[in-house]
Amino acid sequence: MPPKFKKPDDGIEKPTRLRDYPRYWLLRAKGFFSRLLYIIGLVWRAAPLMLVFMVALCILDGVLPVLGAYISRDLLNAIADLVMLRSDGGLGSDVFEVLSPIIFLFILNFIYLFAKKILTRLNSMVTGISGELVVNHIKMMILEKSKVVDMRSFDRPEFYEKLENANREASMRPLHILSATFNVVSALISAVSFVVVLVGLSPFAPLIIVAAAVPGAIVNFYYRNRNFHYIRRHSKERREMNYYSQLMVDKDRAKEIRILGLADTFIERYSRVFKCYYKGLKGLILSEGIWQICIGLISTLVNCGLFLYIAYNVVFMNGLVGDYSLYSGALTSISGYVTTLLTATATIYEGTLFIDNIMTFMKEKIEITAPDEPRLPERGAKHTIVFENVSFKYPGTDKYVLKDINLRFEPTDSVVLVGLNGAGKTTLIKLLTRLYDPTEGRILLDGNDLKEYDPKSLYAMFGIIFQDYGRYAETVGENIRFGDVDREYTDEDIVRAAVEGNADGFITELPHGYETPLTRIFEEDGIELSGGQWQKISVARAFYKESDILILDEPTASLDPLAEKEVFDQFRELSEGKITVFVSHRLSSAVDASKIVVLDGGTVAEIGTHEELMAKGGRYHELFTVQAQRYIAEEI
């Protein structure tokens, strides 16, 4: 029978029965080592040569201190001999012969001290360089992953949590863990070497030192664990803090925040969240400090006891002054190394728990992927699109945003999707472009389920302008070219798209024409465009792409109805023979459409041409009449 477990802990559940504990600890140790290996793998991929250097430096770092201790012992003994000789009047004419061993030892000492300095410098150089490379490598991993995660992931707060955690940990955490690991290795080498030295004095001395370090280690591990859980539990607070601080520096929000006087509210919220987050963390830091001071008292007492014992041996057991230096040095070093060992191990342990954040982010499941043998859409052909009993709920919600949609778009259809806000128009576009998969039913392109196609080639078919199209801090030309970055292009292609999008007129008047940098985020001479000008750039971007199906999701919302109709007509003209889908809540734009789809509460209420739907006297007729009356009233 499998063991019964209770409370989850780092993904491994804590056992309720004593006899299940060995298995539990084994699993945790396995988890620890697999995370450590993951980190080593990361560093190896990011900076293999640096990793080799780190290993070499860590071994040298371990061996050098013991050599130093022996040099100090011999130096001290040699000096003591000289002092004796001088007081006995033995420093006769042959001074050089007497001094030569001591000079040799001083030279050795110089080499040792200089080697130590070089080692420290090399260590910081290697850590500095590999730090940058590792951070860059992990950031790239996160960016590559972000590129492919499903849109549905962005709807879930847990996803943002993972992303935030992964981004935070991407900074120095892996390298800290790795340096701590090497610290452990070199401390281990040094400690073992010094233990060998100390055994010469008493086999119990090293045991006593190690035993004195155990309580400190326990406290350390305990607090590392609590620290990790605290930070994980308060991830929401950290995200809130990020959110408020981002809001305050967001250029697009700055206008509203000033006029509405929201700044103090957000600053106040930020500080309130910080206080709550900080309170618990401060408690943890303080209580750990107090515990460590108390435990420090015990280990200092033990060390002093051992110093006394060494002094007793030197004085009463025919020891030399140098022996005191060697043994007391060994003792101090061992206790130092044992502390390093335990602290670094606890840091590694805590660090590996955090590394889980990166690992879980990288494991975020992707559902919109290419099948084993993906179809490629036939570019330039006449396409048909069919919605078959399509229903959809957003992830993590119970409400159907679209219910039982059945539609058919023919190759030359100009479709206008109309409906009130929240009717499901944008959602339908997201399904049509396979940013999401339907919860039920299927969507067919040329008779085949969208899921059978390679998503990248599928996306390449659509020319689309979203409501919240991108306004990139790049040049005007780049902003247009982003419509299809993979396409081989000439300047004429960009100008042609701009002319088609009615943008060429104002672009040529800009100080550097198509080379003008947009926004002033990076460039002093960057230009801020008006809403209407940005809109024209987005239209040009859509025209730049050689697409098979054109979609406009209310990008014209800030244009007046006539201007919107102009854009729609232009699109229709330029996309002769292609399916075009326009989303609008302005029905005047729908008059010339070959197919008007009226969405209401997530269902298709009516389909037909303007004339058919007006004649029917249903929902469309009602909406159109209300809007028309409003426009007439506005004109009067």
Q: Which residues bind ligand ADP (CB under 6 A)?
A: 155, 394, 397, 401, 419, 421-427
Per-residue HEC secondary structure of 98-130 comes to: HHHHHHHHHHHHHHHHHHHHHHHHHHHHHHHHH
Least Å from the CB of residue 394 to ligand ADP = 3
The nearer residue to ligand ADP, 154 or 222, going by C-beta atoms, is 154
User: 396: helix, coil or strand?
Assistant: coil
The nearer residue to ligand ADP, 230 or 394, going by C-beta atoms, is 394
Least Å from the CB of residue 448 to ligand ADP = 25
Least Å from the CB of residue 423 to ligand ADP = 4
Contact 209, 336 (CB under 8 A): no
The nearer residue to ligand ADP, 174 or 424, going by C-beta atoms, is 424
Tell me 527's DSSP state: B
Least Å from the CB of residue 453 to ligand ADP = 23
The nearer residue to ligand ADP, 342 or 598, going by C-beta atoms, is 598
Specify which residues 418 forms β-bridges with. Answer: 598
The nearer residue to ligand ADP, 419 or 483, going by C-beta atoms, is 419
User: 92: helix, coil or strand?
Assistant: coil
| Residue that the structure tokens 């309720």 belong to | 16
Give dist(CA 189, CA 64) in Å, integer: 10
Least Å from the CB of residue 341 to ligand ADP = 50
Q: What is the CA radius of gyration of the chain?
A: 36
Give dist(CA 27, CA 24) in Å, integer: 5
Per-residue HEC secondary structure of 366-382 comes to: CCCCCCCCCECCCCCCC
The nearer residue to ligand ADP, 548 or 553, going by C-beta atoms, is 553
Q: Tokens representing 577?
A: 């023979």
Tell me 516's DSSP state: P
Q: Tokens representing 603?
A: 């269902």
Give dist(CA 335, CA 324) in Å, integer: 16
Q: Tokens representing 453?
A: 């196609």
Nearest to 539 by CA among 502, 509, 569: 502
Least Å from the CB of residue 384 to ligand ADP = 23
Contact 321, 73 (CB under 8 A): no
The nearer residue to ligand ADP, 32 or 466, going by C-beta atoms, is 466
The nearer residue to ligand ADP, 495 or 598, going by C-beta atoms, is 598
The nearer residue to ligand ADP, 118 or 366, going by C-beta atoms, is 366
User: 390: helix, coil or strand?
Assistant: strand
The nearer residue to ligand ADP, 153 or 333, going by C-beta atoms, is 153
The amino acid present at 60, given as its one-letter code, is L
Task: State the DSSP string of 540-582.
Answer: HHHHHS--SEEEEESTTTTS-HHHHHHHHHHHHHHTTTSEEEE
Give dist(CA 315, CA 503) in Å, integer: 95
User: 338: helix, coil or strand?
Assistant: helix
Contact 116, 334 (CB under 8 A): no
The nearer residue to ligand ADP, 400 or 472, going by C-beta atoms, is 400
Element (H, E) at 197: helix 173-199
What distance lies between CA 95 and its chain's CA centroid? 68
Give dist(CA 588, CA 586) in Å, integer: 6
Contact 480, 524 (CB under 8 A): no
The nearer residue to ligand ADP, 155 or 454, going by C-beta atoms, is 155
